[in-house]
Structure 1
Amino acid sequence: MAKYPLRVVALLYLLFLLVLPVGLIAWRTFSHGIGPFFQALSTPSAVHAIEVTLSVALWAVVANTVFGIGAAILLVRHEFPGKRILSALVDLPLAVSPVVVGLALILVYGKFAPVGGWLERNGLQIIFSLPGMVLATVFVSLPLVVRAIVPVLEELGEEQEQAAHTLGASRWQTFRRITIPSIRWALGYGIVLCLARALGEYGALAVVSGRLVGQTQTLTLFVEERFDNFDQSAAFAAATALALIAILTLLLTKFLRPKDAD
């Protein structure tokens, strides 16, 4: 009988923490029909915010996919001094506040920093522009692809790869025909999580973007800016769009995860 009170407590917890807040946002968004939702997201500032969000997220996913595959193989297939330190550094973004990440990037790539100043003198602005936003997003979503692939590589072992080498396959052929097909679901799972994290990032971007409307404003920053300017319909519409993306991401992760991994 004790399990029923626990279920009730768990359901109430989820209801008041997740379902009710998100449901109220959706209700405020669609209380006057679906028309205002599309109207709010079709304004020039909203369209530009969506474009910037997608651009930043896609570049971050590409960077973290390449790094994630390489780092996972390095951590699982090789032994070297400092391996534990590298593994800990990969997880560092999970422990560091995104705001701290943004401030750290400003110290390195800001206009008055040695590196950032040199880059700006050579025509490449990092902070308060798209490159800085991509760097910040890459940092905060760094561990997701790596940590999705590492357990799968550990479980697979090296037998198939060693057999391919024995039969004369090159490293590239082994990687393309053995490694990638073996980790494809984990790779897809990590990519989807990385994409979701990138699309919903706020803290680091709020610091490095400058929040310039029509220039460096992402959808999360658009929500804040519209709400602060008492344009609640636009704020709720953008928030609902982000929530729908999160739900779609959740469904994708469930679809990509094989049944025997549950």
Structure 2
Amino acid sequence: MAETRRSPRTPLTYVLRIIVIAYLGLLVAWPVFLVGWNAFHVPDVGFTTQAFGEIFSDPQMMHAIQLTCIAAVVATLINLVFGVSISMLLVRTEFPGKRILSAMIDLPLSVSPIVVGLALVLVYGGREGWLGPALESVGIQVIFATPGIILATAFVSLPLVIREVIPVLEEIGTEQEQAAASLGASTWQTFWRITLPGIKWAVIYGVVLTLARSLGEFGAVKVVSGNVLGQTRTATLAVEEKYLNFDQQGAYAVAFLLASVSVICILVVFVLRARGARVR
């Protein structure tokens, strides 16, 4: 097997590395570190976990965290199913309007979450929404309820699974799928035994990114939820509420919990993928 030749390292290489590390440190690592620091450190007191104890003993705060987890998990499952389906559609088939559909997928990343929330209100609002009155007539309330929070969360995180899976689908091609079909495998058998194992890590990464994005959604959720204490207030809305009410310790603690879950998910996937690569 031919060895890959590495380009010679020059002073410019080291300078660029330092710039990149400094940029990521100042933009990502340092702010996250400060959130963790302030979550545990109280001036004139020192390090304490009192803020976390208050969070876990507060029923309303626990409801906010539970609602956030429910919305994030359901939105992630929705985007997993539709994300893989849309990816297969865009890569494996040709149809009129394919480029338009591909462009629309990136819309949630380019539109402000506030606009997304307002758009959902216009469609599902109870009074003037297009579908809201009809849904409420059969007992289904979307806006200012959990379904609206899930819809907003799913909308803003829609592209993450798709943009992870599409490049991998294009890379693996269709040769193995065609061979399986020629041997008599059905469409579902081909997908479960050939396609899915080939895109497994892309799907996992997409799911992790979607979950992390869903846990931290704020703008769209604030518009559609109504931010009702103990009913539709999510953890991210609780962070704002605590910070504005001068409970900065509590705000940092909740923010630290949300960030920790996302970081842990990414680290677990990284470790599992590294182990899988060593086994192969």
What CA deviation, in whole Å up to 9, does each residue of 1:125-163 have, x standing for no partner?
000100001111111010111111111111111111111
Query: Does 2:35 correspond to 1:25?
Result: yes
| Structure 2 residue corresponding to 1:168, chosen from 170, 184, 190 | 184
User: For the structure 1 residues 81 and 40, does the alpha-carbon distance in structure 2 shift closer, same or farther, using more than 3 Å as the test?
Assistant: same
Shift of 1:86: 0.8
Please name the residue that 1:188 is paired with. 204
Q: Please report the TM-score for the alignment, with normalisation by the length of structure 2.
A: 0.87
CA distance in 1, matches of 2:13, 2:179: 51
Shift of 1:169: 1.0
Query: Does 2:63 correspond to 1:53?
Result: no
Is 224-233 or 31-40 further displaced after alignment? Answer: 31-40
User: For the structure 1 residues 8 and 188, does the alpha-carbon distance in structure 2 shift closer, same or farther, using more than 3 Å as the test?
Assistant: closer
Shift of 1:21: 2.5
Please name the residue that 2:213 is paired with. 197
8 Å CA contact retained: 1:186, 1:257: no
8 Å CA contact retained: 2:52, 2:250: no
Q: Which amino acid aligns with 1:24?
A: L
Shift of 1:6: 4.3
CA distance in 1, matches of 2:144, 2:255: 23
User: For the structure 1 residues 176 and 9, does the alpha-carbon distance in structure 2 shift closer, same or farther, using more than 3 Å as the test?
Assistant: closer
8 Å CA contact retained: 2:181, 2:187: yes
Is 122-131 or 35-44 further displaced after alignment? Answer: 35-44
CA distance in 1, matches of 2:183, 2:12: 59
| Structure 2 residue corresponding to 1:93, chosen from 108, 111, 119 | 108
What CA deviation, in whole Å up to 9, does each residue of 1:70-107 have, x standing for no partner?
10110011011111111111111111111100000000
Give the unaligned 5+ runs of structure 1: none
Shift of 1:231: 1.4
Question: What SS does structure 1 have at the residue aligned with 2:62?
Answer: helix
Give the unaligned 5+ runs of structure 2: 1-10
Please name the residue that 2:4 is paired with. none
Q: Which amino acid aligns with 1:172?
A: W
Is 21-30 or 84-93 further displaced after alignment? Answer: 21-30
Shift of 1:41: 2.2
Whose Rg is larger? 2
Q: Which amino acid aligns with 1:243?
A: A
Question: What SS does structure 2 have at the residue aligned with 1:114?
Answer: coil
Please name the residue that 1:239 is paired with. 255
Backbone CA RMSD of aligned residues? 1.8
| Structure 1 residue corresponding to 2:237, chosen from 221, 231, 236 | 221
Question: What SS does structure 2 have at the residue aligned with 1:128?
Answer: coil
Please name the residue that 1:126 is paired with. 142
8 Å CA contact retained: 1:192, 1:252: no
CA distance in 1, matches of 2:30, 2:227: 29
Shift of 1:256: 5.4
Please name the residue that 1:79 is paired with. 94
CA distance in 2, matches of 1:146, 1:51: 27
Identity of aligned residues (%): 53
8 Å CA contact retained: 1:28, 1:236: yes
CA distance in 2, matches of 1:2, 1:68: 41
Please name the residue that 2:83 is paired with. 68
Question: What SS does structure 1 have at the residue aligned with 2:176?
Answer: helix
